[in-house]
Amino acid sequence: MRDEGYWSVALGLGLLVAVAAVVLLELLLRQVHRIERGAGLVWAAGKQVAGNTATTWLLGETSRRLDLLTEEAGRHVQLLSTPPTDATGDGARGGAR
C-alpha cells in the first residue's frame, strides 16, 4: 500500500470516530435534557406539596381546640336535656299553691 492509501485509511477511520463521537454526544445531550425536564417536574411537584402542607404544624392545636369545643358542646347538651325546675322547688308538680 502506498502512502496515500495509508492517509486515506487514517482519514476514513478518523471520520468514523468523529461521527461516532458526535452521535454519542448527541445521545448524552438528549438524556441530560430529559433528566432536566424530569427534575423540573419533580421541583414543581415538590413546591406544590410544600404549599399544601405548609400549615400542618397547626393540626395539633386544631385538634386540642376541637376537643375543648366537643366538651363544651357536651355540657350544652347536658344542660339543655335536663328538665327545667321551677323556682318554688316542687319540681314537676308546678301549679299554684
Question: Could you give the CA distance from residue 78 to residue 74 in angstroms, rounded to a whole number?
Answer: 6
Confidence check: pLDDT of 73 > 60: yes
**Cell of residue 45, nine digits:** 411537584
- pLDDT (0 to 100) of residue 91: 53
Instruction: Give the global pTM.
Output: 0.52
Sign of the C-alpha dihedral computed for residues 2, 3, 4 and 7 taken in this order: positive
Burial of 11 (0-12, 13-18, 19+ CB in 10 A): exposed
